[in-house]
Structure 1
Amino acid sequence: MQENCMVGIYARLSRDDERAGESVSIENQKEMLSRYVREQGWTLYDYYCDDGVSGTTFDRPGLNRLVQDATDRKINLVLCKDLSRLGRDYIEAGKYTDFVFPSLGCRFIALNDGVDTIRKNNEMLVILKNVMNDLYARDTSSKIKAVKQSTFKSGKYVGCYAPLGYRKNTEDKHILEIDPVTAPVVRRIFDLRLQGYGFRKIALQLNAEKVPSPRSFYYMAEGRENLRGETPYWNDVTVKTILRNEVYLGHMVQNKTGTVSYKNHKQISKPESEWIRVEHTHEPLIS
């Protein structure tokens, strides 16, 4: 047994956990695990947390910092609530428990699962738990996708921000209504196009008139500053996207993008055959 255990507590919470109603908040995990550290008489070196990060990706700031500190021999024991906190990809999770942590001389404990790598009879339990966590991630992803597909087919809007010219209904965020502040900008873009202006010329005209860009409008509506450094100017791509968006005709066209898989969250464009188009879902801006 390790006599001088320098512990790194790892805690993770994803949006999928929140949707499932699991009581695994970061603070709850930290409180439970730090109490266990005190009971064992160990030394807590630091907390390593990833909040809002999926368990199917392993490129996480908190986890990366934990591995670096283990590499630097600052910690020799990693403690987490259960194996699903480490990850829900059984191959990647197994790599950490079987290779990464052992190669760094680092003991690993998943408290609620009864997993402790210092015990040599844990291998099969770890494999089974990791496979179950992977299947859970696959099942959750399928259910979320099914709900979104149903929402798309009903003609309800799904998105963080309403398209320029619209705003979300205060009582139902899936319903679009015309925004009196930004609608004139969209109508002007279409008017300029009818006058024979090209995409780039329209963008130059809007910039000359100091018309805020869509991103600037979003920040102003939320009372926030542009801290991400996005260019607050119009360009031909933005203009082209607006002019080709059927939302301004009162139609909803969604399911245009998706992810590679439930493990790889890289956004990809879907073929037009998979788009979901529902007509006459809201008041058109352009007739």
Structure 2
Amino acid sequence: MSLHACLYCRVSTEEQSREGFSILAQRDRLMAFCRAQSWDVAGIYVDDGHSGAKLDRPALSRLRQDAKTDLFQLVLVWKVDRLSRKVAHLAALVDEFDRAHVAFRSVTEPFDTSHAAGRAFMQMLGVFAELERENIRERSALGIRKRVEQGFVHGRPTMLGYRFVEKGKLEVDPASAAVVRWIFGQYLAGVGTLRIAQHLINGVSGLQTEVVYREFRHVSAHSVRDRISWILKNPIYAGYAAIGDDLYAGRHEAIIDLTTWQQAQAQIQSRQNIPNRAHASRYLLTGRIICGQCGARMFGYRQPNRSPEARHIRPYYEYYCCRSNSGFQGRNWTCDNWGVKREHAEEVVLGALRGLAVEGIPGRAAPSLPEDPFTADLSRRRQELQASLGQAERRQRNLFRAIEEAPDLDAAVLSRVRELAEEQKRLALELAVVEKALRNGGPGLSRPEVERLLQDVPRILDAAGHDQIRELLRTFVRRVVVTPVERPSKGHSRLFPKEVTVEFYPL
């Protein structure tokens, strides 16, 4: 009975171009070897263009499955590195074949895996195959870097604004290049990447409709945003060829001048340095606005506009919501004062501040409030810290007295003194943070400074940016109280009329 053998052939694209070691050449030599040995060929498995460093290859996966079905008794390759270029993978495959009672043999390398010496020799061949693979990778990386240093772009990324004319060479596409310049212009004007993506999806006047439609209309806004971020960071648009963090003068024409690209990178860096809760600064009254029903603080909240007709005009509705009504941080729904519209509350507060500056109107006295649970927790924590700090100071004084009476005390006592000093420092820092949170601001200015700042309030409100106005409010406004005026029998509590009262710090 003749032996049934399967033939395995593999070549990567790079090996074929470098050595001319084609699939056809391997198959012919393996077939000739089988004829010389009078073996039957049970199957031919071919992986064309697959790396020998990975086991995830279509033909190899089929071969491994067929080995378990007694379809053949021998796996035949031209060279060991055709099966794998990694010793660990090679040993695992041979062990798998052994369990299936399938032998493994190479035409050009004499070994027999049926005994220990043959398996050891096979693994030595695998070591050299893996070494050759590492050398190939190093030579490939060196060749890629050399081409990039010469100004060629590595790979063929999808480049909006360019066309690939040949390997590594780019040519500007005027229509799509205009889209790239528009993206950079919008970003430097302060528009966020998600808003830019929404504009592109909805269409932009002045840009070729076909380009925008082809590139952006059938993609989600978040996917377009990711692509815009990639465009903004890509030095290829500034005329560079890049590999890793290294930039080299490219052979292609730049779409964006170097100054614009550098400004975009600075803008990206500055936006990345904003804390995670920076969006809270959209709400001018955060930290000052309080529910007049339960005394809890209110927080900024925005709700998507679900109207298809008005969504493109106003994507969100914004409110200040009571924490005791919203289930915030696990709180119970103990308050029916849902909140107030952001525009209404901020309009009332800014009007009151303008009245204080222009007419000297001090604002109405805020109604008496229940104790805010948040403030109550801070007060209890302050008492605990003050007691702990006093106790640490007393222990330290006792240790100092003991050291004076017995200067030859051991190092453990001195170590305890240092520990108490560190504990006092930690407690003092935490106490300062708690007291600042309880004070929650205040002018902190002299009377003449306050008067000069009040004179500038109308100009600041008319010309300053959002952050400056927010700081101005924090300087003068002690708290803003939102109280329901009346309670209709039907309807959501957010629809109740609200009275907004502003209380300023004493001047």
Q: Does residue 1:158 correspond to 2:154, yes or no?
A: yes
Q: Does residue 1:277 correspond to 2:247, yes or no?
A: yes
1:185 maps to which of 169, 176, 179: 179
Structure 1 SS opposite 2:213: coil
1:41 maps to which of 38, 43, 56: 38
Mapped to 2, the partners of 1:280 and 1:138 lie a distance apart of 29
How many Å apart are 1:12 and its aligned residue?
0.5
CA contact (8 A) 2:78 2:106 kept: yes
Q: Does residue 1:137 correspond to 2:133, yes or no?
A: yes
Give deviations 1:24-83, integer Å, cap 9, x for gaps: 211221222123223333222221111111111122121111011001222221111110
Partner in structure 2 of residue 77 of structure 1: 74
Mapped to 1, the partners of 2:235 and 2:104 lie a distance apart of 53
Structure 2 SS opposite 1:282: coil
Mapped to 1, the partners of 2:132 and 2:38 lie a distance apart of 35
Q: Does residue 1:107 correspond to 2:103, yes or no?
A: yes
How many Å apart are 1:162 and its aligned residue?
5.7
Give deviations 1:77-110, integer Å, cap 9, x for gaps: 111111010111122212323x111111001111
Query: Which residue type is aligned with residue 37 of structure 1?
Result: C
Mapped to 1, the partners of 2:105 and 2:256 lie a distance apart of 60
2:122 maps to which of 107, 110, 126: 126
CA contact (8 A) 1:153 1:276 kept: no
CA distance 1:250–1:125, shift in 2 (3 Å)? same
Structure 2 SS opposite 1:91: helix
Query: Which residue type is aligned with residue 230 of structure 2?
Result: T
CA contact (8 A) 2:67 2:100 kept: yes
Mapped to 1, the partners of 2:123 and 2:252 lie a distance apart of 50
Mapped to 1, the partners of 2:90 and 2:179 lie a distance apart of 50
CA contact (8 A) 1:249 1:285 kept: yes
Partner in structure 2 of residue 54 of structure 1: 51
Query: Which residue type is aligned with residue 18 of structure 1?
Result: Q
Mapped to 2, the partners of 1:38 and 1:241 lie a distance apart of 57
How many Å apart are 1:189 and its aligned residue?
2.3
2:10 maps to which of 12, 18, 26: 12
Mapped to 1, the partners of 2:14 and 2:128 lie a distance apart of 16
1:31 maps to which of 28, 33, 42: 28
Question: TM-score scaled by structure 1?
Answer: 0.76
Query: Which residue type is aligned with residue 130 of structure 1?
Result: G
Mapped to 2, the partners of 1:60 and 1:161 lie a distance apart of 25
Partner in structure 2 of residue 147 of structure 1: 143
How many Å apart are 1:237 and its aligned residue?
0.6
CA contact (8 A) 1:152 1:276 kept: no
How many Å apart are 1:156 and its aligned residue?
2.1
More helix by share: 2
2:163 maps to which of 151, 162, 167: 167
How many Å apart are 1:181 and its aligned residue?
4.2
2:241 maps to which of 235, 249, 252: 252
Mapped to 2, the partners of 1:207 and 1:15 lie a distance apart of 39
Partner in structure 2 of residue 211 of structure 1: 213
CA contact (8 A) 2:153 2:242 kept: no
How many Å apart are 1:191 and its aligned residue?
3.7
**Number of aligned residue pairs:** 248
How many Å apart are 1:167 and its aligned residue?
2.2
Mapped to 2, the partners of 1:130 and 1:283 lie a distance apart of 47
CA contact (8 A) 1:162 1:168 kept: no
Give 5+ residue unaligned stretches, structure 2: 204-211, 258-507
Structure 2 SS opposite 1:133: helix
Mapped to 2, the partners of 1:279 and 1:129 lie a distance apart of 43
Q: Does residue 1:200 correspond to 2:194, yes or no?
A: yes
Give 5+ residue unaligned stretches, structure 1: 217-229, 256-274
Give deviations 1:152-186, integer Å, cap 9, x for gaps: 2333211123622112344xx33332123422222
How large is the RMSD of aligned CA atoms in angstroms? 2.6
How many Å apart are 1:5 and its aligned residue?
2.1
Structure 1 SS opposite 2:151: coil
Structure 1 SS opposite 2:214: coil
CA contact (8 A) 2:150 2:250 kept: no
Structure 1 SS opposite 2:64: helix
Query: Which residue type is aligned with residue 178 of structure 1?
Result: V
CA contact (8 A) 1:56 1:88 kept: yes
Mapped to 1, the partners of 2:129 and 2:20 lie a distance apart of 16
How many Å apart are 1:114 and its aligned residue?
2.3
Question: TM-score scaled by structure 2?
Answer: 0.45
CA contact (8 A) 1:178 1:283 kept: yes
Structure 1 SS opposite 2:191: coil
Greater than 4 Å deviation, 4+ residue runs: 118-121, 230-234
CA distance 1:35–1:231, shift in 2 (3 Å)? farther
Structure 2 SS opposite 1:74: coil
Give deviations 1:211-247, integer Å, cap 9, x for gaps: 2228x9xxxxxxxxxxxxx958762111111122222
